Amino acid sequence: MRLLEYQVKSLFADYGIPIPQGLTSANIEQGRKDAEKLGFPFVIKAQMAVGGRGKAGAIQKCHNIDEFELKYPEIMQKVVKGEKTRAILLEKMADIKKELYLSLFLNRSKRCYTVISSSEGGVEIESVKNQIIHEVGLGNIDTKTAEEIGKEIGLKYKALEQFVDILQKLSKVTVEKEAELAEINPLAVLKDDSLVALDGKMIIDDNSMFRHDELRKFQEVSELEERAEKSGFSLVELDGNIAVVGNGAGLVMSTLDMLSDNGGKPACFLDVGGGATTDTVYEALTLISKMKKVRGILVNLYGGIVKTTTVATAFIKAYDNKMVDVPVFARMSGSEADKSKDMLKGSRTKMFDTIEEAINAAVIEVNKNG
Amino acid sequence: MADLFDLLIGKEGDKDYKKKSVIVQGITGKFGSFHTQQMLAYGTNIVAGVTPGKGGQKFEDVPIYENMKDAVGATGAKISIIFVPAKFFLSAAVEALESGIKLLIAIPEHVPIKDALTIVELSKKHDAIVVGPNTPGVIIPGIIKIGIMPASPFKPGRIAVLSRSGTLMYEVSNNLSLANFGQSICFGIGGDPINGAPLIQAFDTIRNGVNIDGVVVVGEIGGDAEEMLAQHIIDTKFDKPVVAYIAGRAAPKEKRMGHAGAIIYGTYGSAESKVSMYAKANVPVAKRPAEVPMLLAGKLEKGRNK
């Protein structure tokens, strides 16, 4: 789960990491009250789970009420890389001398946590120069290590002291909240040599959420994605018009690739999972029927533990209840595949021996119907 | 690095050659009991099960113990497979490693990263191999199956398959079997960001197998395991044919595609990055699973003509 900036900053505040004074609103009425409390000038920052907000105009300075009335609604309407503004943070401007980069993240290949820091922050991590990299095991950082890192990026005296404190607090929030990534970029050095986290990014390990009820309030999944999670399958909504359903994340991704290669546009990724039953597959079809953009369904099953007949039964039930009214193109292989083919004979499901044939037919049919 | 074939089969002349003892942790659960039956039917020598509160009972004639210490003490088994909910994985795995298990197959999905990292550290201390979590397991066709994979896609042969995805391991192995490429071993790495045996390590546990003509690596987006493996193949001058497949070229960025580990951040974890590193290591990448046997046949042909 990726947290929004204001959510990260509320955690930072809890752990004593300095942040600028700011207020978050979801509509302009509240925004006006916040503006009055905060006083001009300030920065208007769109809260969205994506990088590159500055370049896209989703973060803008604001000096007076006229500017505010113009810019607040504009930023509220912003869409950057497909992500909409979820809320707006108004934040006091800081008197910046220098921008640093600091992050702590799960290094998958090294299988440990790693600190990246640099004296040249404020740009996206890919462009951050002079990166200082330290591996730190399970994420805990002692004073000595923090000091070494601070010195390596050229900090001294008061700034160094503050950096050590912030890095250790960042480590504490990362370990305690089980984050895969915690990033402060930029970590600003102000004119008086004090440090402040101007931006914050955190990704929490979804699998640890059962231990973190306190973070549930930050969870924002679409209604359909939430229902999918409850039923034990994974759903990712996409922009196209052909729903892709299968068993196993790898197999469904593979199907998505082949569909795209052949000019088809996936409407969703839906993995019914290893423990699928007729009921969960039926629930999956219910969710798909709620996606208005879907013009066809592509099914790719490799029956093993999950029998193909489990899925076939769910489809027949969906047809009987008139829930599925778009064409279905299916390839079912493995366990009880022949039986499934018999069951679905004469139904809306067209069966194919290979996934390649099913994809071709789906793309032609859906494109024909516009 | 321990040799996986040695752990799973042993050496000719060993008393338990091709009959290595296996313990099932969580043997009475819905999932565990079903797969215990399937593994027994395949011929896997399951000697004990563990379910707290059910010690002294039996399941399918397999004795059940209260804990791993008792189960290992009674049987001397070095291999264990875990079927418990993710919340209980950490304690089950700690118990196994501390009782002397040297090969641990970790089936559960949704294990927190912190718990997986803890087990990685512990496995290093005990010099044990952990496969998974979130793995379908390991199979040597015709000899031993320790996992949840169906039996039908796999045929005995001389190709090693390493896979980050379960169903794709079945799909690709089935394609190989149909093209008369049987498998010497199929090894599920696991779909999580942290693997007990990451791709490189899995590769190293099988690379010296005498029964291997080539290796198929089934990967997916997320992380840089494929890039590291490609570099490793170059560095260690592995000279047998390697063919790869990568799922998720069409996946959007920053979206978790079913597997916890299948997520792209920026260019990190992207399919393009993996394909270009594989190209440097002279590893062809199939566009779709059905292409894998064709590419493999081509590489083997070239090898013979050298």
**CATH number of the CATH domain containing B32:** 3.40.50.720
- By the CB < 8 Å criterion, does A49 face chain B? yes
- By the CB < 8 Å criterion, does B193 face chain A? yes
Q: Given an 8 Å threshold on Cβ–Cβ distance, is A124 in contact with B266?
A: yes
Supply the residues of A annotated as catalytic: 101, 183
- By the CB < 8 Å criterion, does A354 face chain B? yes
Least confident piece of the model among A317-321, B37-41, B160-164: A317-321
Question: Å from B179 to nearest chain A CA?
Answer: 15
Partners of residue A135 in chain B, C-beta under 8 Å: none
**Does residue B124 carry a pLDDT above 80?**
yes
Least confident piece of the model among A27-31, A172-176, A312-316: A312-316
- By the CB < 8 Å criterion, does B124 face chain A? no
In which band, very low, low, confident or very high, does the pLDDT at B306 lie, cut at 50, 70 and 90? low
Radius of gyration of chain A (CA): 25
**Does residue A105 carry a pLDDT above 80?**
yes
If asked whether residues A32 and A46 sit together in one domain, one would say yes
Q: For position A271, what pLDDT does the model report?
A: 93
Q: For position A232, what pLDDT does the model report?
A: 79
Percent of chain A with pLDDT over 70: 99
**Does residue A173 carry a pLDDT above 90?**
yes
Boundary (domain end) residue, out of A58, A92, A126: A92
Mutating which of B33, B113, B203 best tests the A interface, going by the most A Cβ atoms within 10 A? B113
Please give the residue that has the higher pLDDT: either A104 or A82: A104
In which band, very low, low, confident or very high, does the pLDDT at A370 lie, cut at 50, 70 and 90? low
In which band, very low, low, confident or very high, does the pLDDT at A253 lie, cut at 50, 70 and 90? very high
Active site residue B259: yes
Q: For position A38, what pLDDT does the model report?
A: 96
Boundary (domain end) residue, out of B131, B147, B175: B131
Q: How far apart are CA B116 and CA B132, in angstroms?
A: 9
Q: Given an 8 Å threshold on Cβ–Cβ distance, is A207 in contact with B110?
A: yes
If asked whether residues B184 and B285 sit together in one domain, one would say yes
Quote the domain boundaries for residue B236. 137-305
Report how many domains make up chain B. 2
- Name residues 46-85 of chain B within 8 A of A (Cβ): none
Q: Given an 8 Å threshold on Cβ–Cβ distance, is B223 in contact with A109?
A: yes
Q: Given an 8 Å threshold on Cβ–Cβ distance, is A250 in contact with B148?
A: no
Q: Given an 8 Å threshold on Cβ–Cβ distance, is A253 in contact with B257?
A: yes
Q: What is the mean pLDDT of residues A184-213?
A: 95
Pick the closest to residue B136 from B113, B103, B104, B169 (CA basis): B169
Interface ipTM? 0.92
Report how many domains make up chain A. 3
Q: Given an 8 Å threshold on Cβ–Cβ distance, is A253 in contact with B266?
A: no
Quote the domain boundaries for residue A185. 96-215
If asked whether residues B47 and B161 sit together in one domain, one would say no
Boundary (domain end) residue, out of B101, B131, B161: B131
In which band, very low, low, confident or very high, does the pLDDT at B91 lie, cut at 50, 70 and 90? very high
Boundary (domain end) residue, out of B131, B151, B179: B131
If asked whether residues B38 and B96 sit together in one domain, one would say yes
Hey, which of A48-57, A202-211, B65-74 has the most confident mean pLDDT?
B65-74
Q: For position A1, what pLDDT does the model report?
A: 87
In a domain, A254, yes or no: yes
**Does residue A315 carry a pLDDT above 80?**
yes
Per-residue pLDDT tens over the stretch A282-300? 999 999 998 989 999 999 9
**Does residue B301 carry a pLDDT above 70?**
yes
Please give the residue that has the higher pLDDT: either B209 or B294: B294
- By the CB < 8 Å criterion, does B261 face chain A? yes
- Name residues 131-150 of chain A within 8 A of B (Cβ): 138
In which band, very low, low, confident or very high, does the pLDDT at B303 lie, cut at 50, 70 and 90? confident
Partners of residue A178 in chain B, C-beta under 8 Å: 112-114
Q: Given an 8 Å threshold on Cβ–Cβ distance, is A249 in contact with B171?
A: no
Q: For position B253, what pLDDT does the model report?
A: 85
Q: How far apart are CA B288 and CA A260, in angstroms?
A: 12
Of B117, B170, B218, the CB nearest to A138: B117
C-alpha distances in Å from residue A106, one per residue of A103, A113, B109, B113: 10, 4, 19, 9
Spatial neighbors of A130 by CB under 8 A, at least 6 apart, are: A118, A119, A120, A153
Boundary (domain end) residue, out of A169, A192, A215: A215
- In A128-260, which ranges are E strands? 132-135, 179-190, 195-197, 201-204, 234-237, 242-246
Question: Å from B3 to nearest chain A CA?
Answer: 21
**Does residue A92 carry a pLDDT above 80?**
yes
If asked whether residues B212 and B96 sit together in one domain, one would say no
In which band, very low, low, confident or very high, does the pLDDT at B1 lie, cut at 50, 70 and 90? low
Please give the residue that has the higher pLDDT: either A307 or B248: B248
- By the CB < 8 Å criterion, does B228 face chain A? yes
In a domain, A33, yes or no: yes
If asked whether residues A244 and A304 sit together in one domain, one would say yes
Q: What is the DSSP letter of A267?
A: E
If asked whether residues B123 and B144 sit together in one domain, one would say no
**Does residue A339 carry a pLDDT above 80?**
yes
**Does residue A202 carry a pLDDT above 80?**
yes
If asked whether residues A349 and A237 sit together in one domain, one would say yes
Boundary (domain end) residue, out of A92, A108, A141: A92
If asked whether residues A86 and A125 sit together in one domain, one would say no
CATH classification at residue A162: 3.30.470.20
In which band, very low, low, confident or very high, does the pLDDT at A331 lie, cut at 50, 70 and 90? very high
Alpha carbon dihedral A286, A290, A294, A298, in 10-degree steps, equals -10
Closest residue, chain B, to A336 (C-alpha):
B152
Q: For position A52, what pLDDT does the model report?
A: 84
In which band, very low, low, confident or very high, does the pLDDT at A231 lie, cut at 50, 70 and 90? confident
Please give the residue that has the higher pLDDT: either A301 or A275: A301
Amino acid at B136: P
Q: Given an 8 Å threshold on Cβ–Cβ distance, is B220 in contact with A253?
A: yes
Q: What is the mean pLDDT of residues B265-288?
A: 93
Closest residue, chain A, to B190 (C-alpha):
A250
Q: How far apart are CA B292 and CA B284, in angstroms?
A: 9
Least confident piece of the model among A306-310, B81-85, B174-178, B205-209: A306-310
In which band, very low, low, confident or very high, does the pLDDT at A64 lie, cut at 50, 70 and 90? very high
Task: Work out the mean pLDDT of chain A and round it to a whole number.
Answer: 92
If asked whether residues A42 and A177 sit together in one domain, one would say no
Pick the closest to residue B150 from A44, A335, A296, A6 (CA basis): A335
If asked whether residues A83 and A173 sit together in one domain, one would say no
Q: Given an 8 Å threshold on Cβ–Cβ distance, is A249 in contact with B191?
A: yes
In a domain, A153, yes or no: yes
